[in-house]
Structure 1
Amino acid sequence: MEKTNVTMTTEEMQGEPAAKENETKAEKFIRIGEYRMNKAVDAIGRLENLANRGSYEYTQEQVDAMFQRLSLK
């Protein structure tokens, strides 16, 4: 019976695309950057759905707290 390798890289455990063989640091930056940016854009899109007052009730203070947390420091 063939033994399979079940070890995973840190990137694979975080759900990021697996590293390419002989990948440069610049290529790794682009690969991981694209993946993370796409996830961030998707998450922001889901946050936008919260603006629907027909489905949600919230205060201005709650909105301000969310924007404060999203702002870069």
Structure 2
Amino acid sequence: MRLTLLLPLWGMLTMVSAAKQPNIIFIMADDLGWNDVGFHNPKLKTPNMNWLAKEGIELTNHYAQPVCSP
């Protein structure tokens, strides 16, 4: 009987603690050019990507290694 009372309470506590954590989405696309999204090129229609860039953070300064090796 005690277990049936504690399980709903545990579920509510985990939902509250999960709601406080930040939502982080990291999108990385291979061969996506600078002008291939609507927030850089107004000729293209990418409303979802535009919204994500407007409401979130766009990381624009990054570096890559020229050789693909471990």
TM-score by length of 2: 0.35
TM-score, with normalisation over the residues of structure 1? 0.34
